[in-house]
Amino acid sequence: MSRLIIVSNRVSVPDNNGAAAAGGLAVALQAALAERGGIWMGWSGKSSGDAEPEPLVLTQDGNITYALTDLTQTDVEEYYQGFANRVLWPICHYRLDLAEYGRKEMASYFRVNRFFAHRLAPLVEPDDIIWVHDYHLIPLAAELRQMGLKNRIGFFLHIPWPPADVLVTMPVHEQIMRGLSSYDLLGFQTDHDLENFAGCLKREGMGVEDSPGHFNALGHEFRGKAYSIGIETAAFADFARKAAAHSMVQKARKSIEGRDLIIGVDRLDYSKGITQRIDAFERFITNNPAHQRNVTYLQITPKSRSEVPEYEAMQHAVAEQAGRVNGAIGTVDWVPIRYINRSISRPVLAGLYRLAKVGLVTPLRDGMNLVAKEYVAAQDPDDPGVLVLSRFAGAARELKGGALLVNPYDVDGTANALARAINMPLDERRERWRGMMDHLLEYDVSRWCDTFLADLRAD
């Protein structure tokens, strides 16, 4: 069996005890590597300052080699904080107003991908399969091809892909499309993302879709397909069941004093729709005074990319908004919104999911959103909660039969969905949950991983 090489911006290296990272994606990728043997390469997360980075640091764990490289401080600022997170991220999330173009940052993005390619190439054997992950590394295959590598190379985009009218606002959109067209297999989260990509090729006259999922562009034939990423569903369900007994979860249960719990869990990011969600919760309470003092909304929002000014400003805005709503509708013995601006341990988070009667997942745009899937997996089968889900999350393509889908821009519509969720009869809750859970058990993260790799190996 050929080796597998995974390349991602960050690498999930086991700790000193050999424990894998908690996230389902890391678990699945490490399992795939362990089965086939191979390499996981990426940025160490560290800066070498003004000096050139030292050679790759190689760490062996069983038959997996972890290959980490530092980046210069300039590269961190221009490639990662700059082009990747201040151009590609907002463009792919349809936020043209937040994209800040700079020629230096664009050049650095391609330069760092070239740097990754030069560090990776000496490790690659002729029959290795290479799987590249996410928007930071779109040009990597093109750089490897320039160096003469003929290996099969796949790419999976974890975030949305925009339509042509949005993409072409980016000055280097042709180079980005050329980079994607250098892979043998492109994986997107949803069929909508794949359709957007095909539309971009056609609109720009860069290529054609010869047959569904088979493309010919810029002199290269390749395939594209939707692979909706899953979670480790069965394991997470068991984890959440046990986590319900965690001391912190028990304290949380006691502290809400019989009130219904609504939970939102998001990284602090403008794509997550947190401010619109707080507005919707306030509208729900205002329109349904009988629920005043009977519901608590817990919003857990760890800090994110605080070095980027937009994120620092958002942190203050969300905290101020939560405070305003608490001041407007709270009472002496009831704080409507509990806003936590730090990370919560995975056992506690799983237990809180299970405790919550409503999971409120309303991004303005999201590639998939695994919080929605974790919330479903965490529920008590005898008394499951209700998922209120944005129709603009990739997860809505799979969970639309069980979740209450909302338009996060529609404050009244989301407020009405909250009222419906809180008051939903047990039989309906069970029926909705069962359909979603069965789907998530079948289409878990291991199946996602195995399906992509099988397609990448296929001629």
Catalytic residue among 93, 133, 158, 173: 158
Which of 364, 368, 358 lies closest to 404 in space, CA to CA? 358
DSSP string computed for 136-159: GGTTHHHHHHHTT--SEEEEE--S
> What is the helix (H) or strand (E) element at residue 265, kind and residue range?
strand 260-265
Distance set, CA 311 to CA 98, 191, 222, 301, 393 (Å) = 11, 30, 37, 12, 21
Which of 359, 407, 364 lies closest to 385 in space, CA to CA? 359
C-alpha–C-alpha distance, residues 347 and 15, integer Å: 18
Q: Check if 366 is active-site.
A: yes
C-alpha–C-alpha distance, residues 287 and 284, integer Å: 5
Total residue count of the chain as it appears in this document: 459
Tokens of 301: 């929002």
- CB neighbour list of residue 285: distance below 8 Å, 6 or more residues apart: 291, 292, 295, 329, 336
Tokens of 459: 């001629």
Q: Check if 75 is active-site.
A: no
Catalytic residue among 70, 279, 366, 444: 366
Active site residues: 158, 366
